[in-house]
Structure 1
């Protein structure tokens, strides 16, 4: 497995559902990375790769929705910036699968994009945007005497 897809690479943000979702995401990403690294460009993309990418996309959609609900609930000021990152990356992931299915992109190109563009973004997003969101949620919860989600 690539060093890119390790649960330990993501900091805990302190909001339980976010930390749980990130851990689950890293498990799904590890499967995608393992399949990509084991694949050869001269072979068709294995169905397991498509399945794992789709599983990760569905997990991400649900996770992003949960984050967006909590951001709205606490009136997180950069909500639209954070949501825009979610929307852009979901679209990118769907495009990966569509391009792979249509033959527009091969396994080596997908591997390069996924390992060198998507995974570093995901790790940065969790370490920056999600950390900021979690801190704001905690601050708002403390101010109102509520527990964090």
Structure 2
């Protein structure tokens, strides 16, 4: 297991905690396949399928948060959305590299070194502030200006 559910911070909105749990399950499943990768087409295809599902799940995850941020007029919406866009592009770039080169080391480095740290940081900062705003309507920006 790459990421333990207990390592992921809880935020003030249950729907966000639930999707984070789903994220961790998907990430752990892909990582298991990365560790078992044997260079065969079958093994690569299994990673492809799971990675595509992860991207689709992430797109929906981010869109749902962004819709709610817009509906509630969350002041730092653009900053949070910008980080979503950056992370999603990074995921897509890595997947494109994987499909072209079948570079399992690049996947391992991303999943071990980059992804868990990013997930922890994003949830404990941006998602925590956003969830608190969703729950209370209190702006993290002091007076509503960011």
TM-score for the superposition, normalised by structure 2: 0.86
Q: Which runs of 5+ in 1 are unaligned?
A: 142-149
Query: In structure 2, which of residues 112, 115, 120 is the aligned counterpart of residue 118 of structure 1?
Result: 115
Q: Distance in 1 between matches of 2:8 and 2:130?
A: 15
**Residue deviations 1:39-82, cap 9 Å, x none?**
25xx2452111111111111110010110011111111111111
Of 52, 55, 66 in structure 2, the residue corresponding to residue 54 of structure 1 is 52
Match of 1:72 among 62, 67, 70: 70
Aligned position for 1:9: 7
Structure 1 CA distance for aligned equivalents of residues 132 and 73 of structure 2: 13
Deviation at 1:22, TM superposition (A): 0.7
RMSD: 1.6
SS in structure 2 of the partner of residue 136 of structure 1: helix
Q: Where do 5+ consecutive residues of structure 2 fail to align? A: 139-146
- 1:101 Cα deviation from its structure 2 partner: 0.9
Aligned residue pair count: 136
Write the deviation string for residues 96-115 of structure 1: whole angstroms up to 9, x where unpaired. Answer: 11111111x61012211222
